Chains A and B, each alone.
Chain A
C-alpha cells in the first residue's frame, strides 16, 4: 500500500507529502525518539504524539515511509519546515493512537 492509499483509507490529513507513492509495509508506535530509532522498521508508518522538529530527523534516519501524528496533534511550524526540508511524509489524524494503530493494521491487512 502506498502512502497516498493509506491517506485515503484512513482519512488522514496530509501536512506535508513529499513522496505519496512510497510503499508502507508496517507500523510502529512510539514517542521516545531513541526507542523509535532502535525499533521502528524501514518503510513503516510511525504513529506518535511528539510534534517537535526532531521527529522529522528521526523519520529520515530510521527511513520510515511516513509519520502519522495521532490524537489531533498538529505539527509545530519548525516540524513542518523540517519535514519539507528533509522530504518526510508528515500526516495526521484525530483518532487516538490505539484506534489509529488498529486501523493501520486493518489497512495493511
Chain B
C-alpha cells in the first residue's frame, strides 16, 4: 500500500467548533476500510491533539500518514510550548482556562489520553516556539 498523506488545518480560538479535522480524518479512515478499533484510537488521539491546539496554541496543523502497518499523526503548533513535559503528562494537570473547563475540557487528560490510545508518542517542544506531538497507531496485520 502506498503511503496516504493527509493534511488538516486546525483553527484556533473556537473550542465550540473544534473537532472538524478529527471528524474528517475519521471519515477518511473509514473509507480506507481500516479496523474499527484502529480508527477509534486514531480519532481520539487526533481530537485530543486538536483540542490542545485550540486551547493552548491558537490552532496549528495536523499531518496524517497512513501506511499499511501504522497511522502516524503529527500535530504541530506555534504556541507557547510546554515548560515541563513530565508534569503535562500527569493525569489531572492542566493549564486550561475557565472557558475550556466550562465546556467540559481542561481535565488534564488530553496528553495522557493520547498516550493511552497510541502505540508510540513523542513530544518535541520549545518554550516560546511551539510543540509537535507525534503519535503512531499500529494496524494489526
Contact = CB atoms under 8 A, between A and B. Distances in A.
Contact of B113 (A38, A57, A60, A78): A38
A7 interface: no
A94 interface: no
Q: Which one of B37, B43, B47 has the highest number of Cβ atoms from chain A below 10 Å of its Cβ?
A: B47
A61 B110 contact: no
A33 interface: yes
Given A37-B113, A86-B23, A42 B40 contact: yes
Contact of B104 (A33, A60, A63, A86): A33
B30 to A, nearest CB: 11
Contacts of B44: 37-38, 61-62
B61 interface: no
Contact of A57 (B36, B37, B47, B108): B47
Contacts of A54: 15-16, 18-19, 103-105
Q: Which one of A32, A61, A78 has the highest number of Cβ atoms from chain B below 10 Å of its Cβ?
A: A61
9 contacts: A32-B104, A33-B107, A34-B51, A34-B105, A34-B109, A54-B19, A54-B105, A61-B47, A78-B16
Interface of A: 31-35, 37-38, 42, 50, 52-55, 57-58, 60-63, 78, 86
